[in-house]
Amino acid sequence: MDYKNAGVDIEAGYESVELMKKYVKQTMRPEVLGGLGGFSGAFDLSSIKDMEEPVLLSGTDGVGTKIKLAFLLDKHDTIGIDCVAMCVNDVACAGGEPLFFLDYIACGKNYPEKIATIVSGVAEGCKQSGAALIGGETAEHPGLMPEDEYDLAGFAVGVVDKKDIITGENVKDGDVLIGMASTGVHSNGFSLVRKIFTMDKETLETYHEELGTTLGEALLAPTRIYVKAMRSIKDAGITVKACSHITGGGFYENIPRMLPEGKRAVIEKNSYEVPAIFKMMAREGNVDEQMMYNTYNMGLGMIVAVDPADVDATMEAIRATGDTPYVVGKIIDGEKGVDLV
């Protein structure tokens, strides 16, 4: 009896590392010390010494049950982008710059090519956000997970000067809310998605005119990363007073998180076009409007609050990164919360 007969293939692990190295290399930053394969990832922080009061920010997340669609379609090259996005968008939401990222893949059986494909997506997400992929772990769990399944989670660390942290404490009546377009469902609410639609390959590979693509492609569209957009706003000299990353819990849970007591957000539902995938989900699943807005991003992945005088410059800064902004509402005095009108 040996470890391989017990279900853990050490040689496959070595092969996975070799296959993923080319992707990891593409994410390197000058601050990264050493290479892939050490017991820990090292990152030189001397570059932040010019900050008055550097503050480290962190975020950790996975991709939830969206991963089941990757299994069904045998498509594993974008799920890693989702994992990175869920972490780095939270860092950016606080005004920070993501520095580095680590991933964790648990699998029933290590298929090196599949693992490398997953990591290629992680690396792409890191490239989009400017974070270095400085380490990770692939763990085989024979007997605990089916051989053809895996789970993926990640962890990001970023930095911000304390004076630049976005806290929401200075928002005032009349401040304007600007939303940035999402790419679709992102990585939340897939337990409901899987109840709305039949989860088989035929259904997912069916083309829909209203979507302009197959259902599976629409649902698997990777989560948008807003790091560059947030950096562009900051570089333009604009103060973001508050920011909300619209993830699980949709508008009703996430927007109030960016508000201080005594301030309320008003969102105009008709200020932008809700993507077709959400309209299809509501129709096919008979999901009421409040539940949709309480579960999904409904087409807006990030919302920022700025002074009215900064609206045009903010919109321009967001467009400069390839993102699409909309003026979607305003801040008013009132009980902390959000109204959709």
pLDDT digits (tens, 9 = 90+) for 246-277: 999 999 999 999 999 999 999 999 999 999 99
Q: In what order do the strands lie in the sheet with 132-140?
A: 54-62, 150-161, 97-107, 132-140
What is the spatial distance between Cα 129 and Cα 174, in angstroms, rounded to a whole number?
31
User: Where are any strands of DSSP class E within 32-111?
Assistant: 32-33, 42-43, 54-62, 97-107
What is the spatial distance between Cα 321 and Cα 319, in angstroms, rounded to a whole number?
5
List the alpha helices (DSSP H) in 6-66. 10-25
| pTM for the predicted model, two decimal places | 0.94
In the chain, count of helices (H) and strands (E)? 12, 14
- With beta carbons less than 8 A apart as the criterion, state whether 105 and 118 touch: yes
Token pair for 217: 């492609």
Split at pLDDT 50, 70, 90, the class of 12 is confident
Residue 24: pLDDT over 90: no
pLDDT value, residue 47: 85
Identify which of 156, 183, 27 has the alpha carbon closest to the alpha carbon of residue 94. Answer: 156
Residue 96: pLDDT over 60: yes
pLDDT value, residue 22: 86
> What is the overall mean pLDDT for the chain?
94
Domains of the chain, CATH where assigned: 10-164 (3.30.1330.10), 176-340 (3.90.650.10)
Split at pLDDT 50, 70, 90, the class of 20 is confident
Residue 6: pLDDT over 60: no
